[in-house]
Structure 1
Amino acid sequence: MTSRGTPNQRAGSARGSFQRRLLLIFGVQLVLVLLAYLMGYYNVAPAGAVLLLIVIVSALAWLAVQRVWRPISALARLVDNWDGGQGSLDALLQSDRFSRRADADVAALTRGFHTFASRIAGYNERERNFTRDASHELRSPLTVIKMSTDMLADEASLSEFGQRSVQRIRRATREMEALVEALLILAREADNGQGEQVFVVNDVLRDELVDAREMLHGHPIELQFEEPATFALHGSPRVFAVLCWQLIRHASQYTGQGTVLVTVLPGAVSVTASAGADHDPAEPGQQGFEYAIARRISERFAWSLQLQVHGGNRYVAEIRFPQPLPVSA
């Protein structure tokens, strides 16, 4: 009783059959064309018949190559039409047809892509579940905390110490909201266009600085705003506000005390801070968590972000936007 071999052995024996089939097709074509040439050379057949025979042989070789190439074309169409979801993998689940009809290399490529695509589809599903659950489970308690602090702040019998504590809780809640928003923006894979609109940069910054001053209340930091230029952007104003807030936080932590200046320049926004005379600024290489988030957001939306430290104590972060719009837009 003879053994047919294991699947791996059968795959190994079939490996390379694609090249062998192509070699056979072109070898037969070469032999037939050579025979047709000899028939014409020795006047066995007229020149018109020889030319017709060469055309027929070439056409048959082309059809044979197309038949051999068909499984690769089918796989290329599946890859091109794949949208990243699990549902579009149903066609690849029938990858056995490639094993029966195609070279073992093509079948191995099909199975490998199916495994890879399944992992990507699972990752996308986990991402959607995480962002949906995190958005609800983190924002809901923050909303409760905000409502509770607002009610506590209205209590007439609350002591001065209690009022200060309520204000600290309120500021911490606002910072937590901004952080959650930034992390959710970075966690989403395909939400680059979420909430996109045309907005005026200056207007968004004015509103953001109002909240930033409240969150920095109690710190020896003065926020200033200058707008020698005005321009608009097409994008998410919330993403832009989160990015600027992270840079303001980073500049405030770098300088410790003093002035943080936010300036609107033509097609750019800069955040500048100078460390106080009695404050030892952070090392330029120690860019911190806030700057890391700002950097990832800027890379995500193709906004150029540069950080420079001049003279050892002057912090300058600048965001440049590749396609600024006039305010009239």
Structure 2
Amino acid sequence: MTSRGSAQPGRAFRRGLYQRRLAIIFGLQLLAIVVACVLGFYDVMPKVAALAFIVLISGLSWLAARRLWVQVSRLARAVSDWDEQSTGLDGWRPDQLSRRTDADVATLANSLYAFANRIAGYNQRERNFTRDASHELRSPLTVIKMSADMLADDASLGEFGQRSVQRIKRSTREMEALVEALLILARESDNGLTEEDFIVNDVIRHELPDVMDMLEGRPITLELDEPARFALHGSPRVFAVLCWQLIRNACQQADGGTVVITVMPGVVTVTHRCDDSQSRPNRHGFELAIAQRISERFHWPLELQTHDGRRHIARIRFPESTPLPA
């Protein structure tokens, strides 16, 4: 009784068709070899001719078996040449398969075709999300920043109002850094990120004013220590966002103290020092989770240390950095 497997609703493919054809090929080969040996043994056929016949039969069997493997080879090449931005595997739609296709091959082709379409759909949704979110989230933040700046210049605004405006501005800057980080992580690949050679020290110095504004009103001192200088090839914005998240995480560890950013050869360290009255239990929040994901995405190892409950250290290593003169 012939078993059948369905790789697509409404179409049936023979299961085990490849194995049966292979068994027939090697069965016929074995029969021909036995016949040639018997004829050669009884001198009905010259031994040289019998040997040549066996070689010929073996070659034909190999060609026949190789022909059976053609469909699998074609499918493997299609997967190897597949572009994940395309909608599917061309020529391997379930309705394009021959009815003589083995059920196992048809099932594999059907599954790969469905998987390719899911990946293509995912990539399209990713592009739509990053494009729309980039516009829809940044535009309101820009309006909030402009409105907060206008309110801060209003002389009639009292002390309480000024403090509220500063909190709005600080929260807006933190939200901008968070949106930038989430958009970076939302991308499956690095497409859309500008890569260039940049000096780490210069990027950190460029970001310091925004960091100082974020810390305004909090008893936290920010220091930059530069015993070394080095360059990287990559996205300076990604590097800046990573530093932002580590600084924000350091500021969550205590109500006050000193945050020191140290640039060493191939290493950037963010250290937070505080006294006993300012320290809190070690808190690893959302900022650190984002920093860890960025470090994994771009292969910049991140190490975390805590000493005596009052000194928190985040160390980022850059294996492919280029040293520069101090």
Superposition TM-score, scaled by structure 1 size: 0.89
Following the alignment from structure 1 to structure 2, what is the Cα–Cα distance between the partners of residues 13 and 323? Answer: 53
Q: Distance in 2 between matches of 1:301 and 1:6?
A: 45
Q: What is the DSSP-based 3-state SS (H/G/I as helix, E as strand, rest coil) of the residue aligned with 2:268?
A: strand
Once the two structures are superposed, residues 238-294 of structure 1 have per-residue CA deviations (whole angstroms, 9 ceiling, x without a partner) of 0001001100110111132101111111111111112322134223xx411000000
Number of the residue aligned with 1:26 = 26
> Does 2:273 correspond to 1:263?
no
Kindly tell me: are residues 10 and 165 of structure 1, through their superposed partners in 2, closer, same or farther at Cα, counting changes over 3 Å? closer
User: Who is 1:315 aligned against?
Assistant: 312
CA contact (8 A) 2:196 2:233 kept: yes
Summarize the Cα distance change of 1:279–1:6 in structure 2 as closer, same or farther, 3 Å threshold: closer
Q: What is the match of residue 128 of structure 2?
A: 129
Amino acid at match of 2:54: I
Please tell me the residue identity of whatever aligns with 1:26. Answer: F
Q: Secondary structure at the match of 2:121?
A: helix
State the number of aligned residues.
Answer: 322
- Note the C-alpha offset of 1:154: 3.2
Once the 2 structures are TM-superposed, how far is the Cα of residue 319 of structure 1 from its aligned partner?
Answer: 0.6
How large is the Cα RMSD of the aligned pairs? 2.5
- In structure 2, do the counterparts of structure 1 residues 243 and 55 end up closer, same or farther at CA, with 3 Å as the change threshold? same
**Structure 1 equivalent of residue 140 of structure 2:** 141
Runs of 4+ in structure 1 over 6 Å off:
8-13
SS in 2 for 1:111: helix
Flag structure 1 segments of 5+ consecutive residues without an equivalent: none
Alpha-carbon contact 1:275-1:281 (below 8 Å) kept: no
Q: Which residue of 2 aligns with 1:213?
A: 212
Distance 2:11 2:57 in 1: 32
Q: Match for 1:132: what amino acid?
A: R
| Identity level (%) | 59
- Partner AA of 1:116 in structure 2: F
User: Is this contact kept in 2: 1:138–1:180, CA < 8 A?
Assistant: yes
Q: Which residue number in structure 1 is paired with residue 106 of structure 2?
A: 107
Find the aligned partners of 1:78 and 1:16 in 2 and give their Cα distance.
23
Unaligned segments of structure 2, at least 5 residues: none
CA distance in 2, matches of 1:176, 1:10: 53
Contact 1:71 1:98 in 2 (8 A): no
Structure 2 match to 1:251: 250
Cα distance change on mapping 1:32 and 1:63 into 2, 3 Å: same
In 1, distance between residues paired with 2:266 and 2:191?
Answer: 20
Shift of 1:149: 2.4
Query: Greater share of helix residues, 1 or 2?
Result: 1
State whether residues 98 and 106 of structure 1, in contact with CA within 8 Å, keep that contact through their aligned partners in structure 2: no
Please give the per-residue CA displacement for 1:24-67, whole angstroms capped at 9, x wherever unaligned.
Answer: 21222222223223333333223442333223212211221122
Contact 1:192–1:301 (Cα < 8 Å) also in 2: no
1:290: which partner in 2? Answer: 287
Amino acid at match of 2:73: S
* CA distance in 2: counterparts of 1:112 and 1:281, whole angstroms: 52
- Which residue number in structure 2 is paired with residue 77 of structure 1? 77
Structure 2 length-normalised TM:
0.90
Name the residue aligned to 2:183.
184
- AA matched with 1:19: Q
Post-superposition offset of 1:74: 1.7
Give the letter for the 2:259 counterpart.
V
- SS of the aligned residue for 2:97 comes to helix
In 2, Cα distance between the equivalents of 1:68 and 1:98? Answer: 15
Deviation at 1:5? Answer: 8.9
Tell me how far apart the structure 1 counterparts of residues 324 and 33 of structure 2 sit (CA, whole Å): 71
Taking a change above 3 Å as real, the CA distance of residues 108 and 5 of structure 1, as seen in their structure-2 partners, is closer
In structure 1, C-alpha distance between the alignment counterparts of 2:288 and 2:306, rounded to whole Å: 14
One-letter code aligned to 1:24: I
Correspondence for 1:306 among 303, 306, 310? 303
Judging by fraction of residues, say which structure has more strand.
Answer: 2
In 1, are the aligned partners of 2:231 and 2:323 still within 8 Å (CA)?
A: yes
The one-character-per-residue Cα deviations of 1:146-191 (angstroms, maximum 9, x if unpaired) are 2222333333444343333332222221111110000000001122
1-side partners of 2:201 and 2:243: how far apart? 12
> Equivalents in 2 of 1:173, 1:131: separation in Å?
20
